[in-house]
């Protein structure tokens, strides 16, 4: 079976250079986040594992991304731009995976951000939702952080489409159309 035959349809297909262009993140950074790297500090080498395993199998030495990987990267970059450190993000991803039982938790409907921290929506038995700050372990007001997902379309508790140009409906990234390329 060739790599193309083993790739499932409907999840989108992006190379690292395409993701780099869409997210405005250097390709080298994406490769480090999803391929892992070795960090040397004060003569001590530390292996940093990937933040997660991409949806698609690697093709040789090239990392290939699915749509949900693209959305996760979007969030990682937004958190970094807001001042969160990569170690904090790595820890929040680990907690989030356990909370929602999904390898790509930020591309589910249960997560939001205010630009400073990462929140998990928690539903109580009475049907009301609260937002748990994964960094501080405190609950916050849900309405204050809802704006984060304005440029994302959500169905079945997961992100299904991204409108990368400030939510304009004329440009959409949809993994079920044209292998997820911009349309």
Please report whether residue 57 resides in a domain: yes
Q: pLDDT, tens digit, for every residue of 130-181? A: 666 666 666 654 544 455 556 777 777 677 888 777 655 667 888 877 654 5
Please report whether residue 181 resides in a domain: no
Q: pLDDT, tens digit, for every residue of 57-110? A: 888 889 999 999 999 999 899 888 878 888 888 988 888 888 778 888 888 766
How sure is the predictor about 25, in pLDDT bands with cuts at 50, 70 and 90? very high
Please report whether residue 73 resides in a domain: yes
Residue at token pair 């372990």: 137
Report the domain count for the chain. Answer: 1
Please report whether residue 176 resides in a domain: no
Express the helix, strand and coil content of the chain in percent, nearest 5 each.
Answer: 35, 25, 40
Please report whether residue 179 resides in a domain: no
Q: How far is CA 42 from CA 7, 50, 52, 111, 160, in A?
A: 42, 22, 27, 37, 44
Q: pTM of the entire structure?
A: 0.66
Which pair of structure tokens corresponds to residue 94?
């680990």
Please report whether residue 99 resides in a domain: yes
Domain with 67 in it: 3-171
Please report whether residue 151 resides in a domain: yes
Please report whether residue 149 resides in a domain: yes
């Amino acid at each position: 079976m060739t790599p193309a035959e083993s790739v499932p349809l409907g999840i989108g297909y992006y190379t690292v250079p395409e993701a780099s262009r869409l997210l405005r993140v250097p390709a080298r950074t994406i490769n480090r986040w999803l391929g892992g790297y070795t960090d040397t500090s004060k003569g001590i080498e530390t292996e940093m594992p990937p933040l997660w395993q991409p949806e698609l199998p690697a093709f040789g030495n090239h990392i290939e991304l699915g749509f949900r990987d693209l959305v996760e990267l979007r969030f990682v970059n937004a958190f970094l731009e807001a001042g969160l450190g990569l170690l904090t993000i790595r820890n929040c991803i680990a907690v989030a995976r356990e909370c929602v039982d999904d390898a790509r938790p930020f591309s589910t409907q249960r997560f939001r951000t205010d630009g400073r921290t990462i929140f998990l929506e928690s539903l109580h038995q009475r049907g009301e939702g609260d937002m748990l700050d994964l960094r501080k372990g405190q609950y916050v007001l849900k309405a204050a952080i809802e704006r984060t997902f304005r440029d994302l379309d959500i169905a079945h508790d997961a992100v299904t489409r991204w409108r990368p140009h400030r939510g304009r409906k004329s440009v959409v990234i949809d993994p079920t159309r044209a292998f997820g390329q911009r349309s």
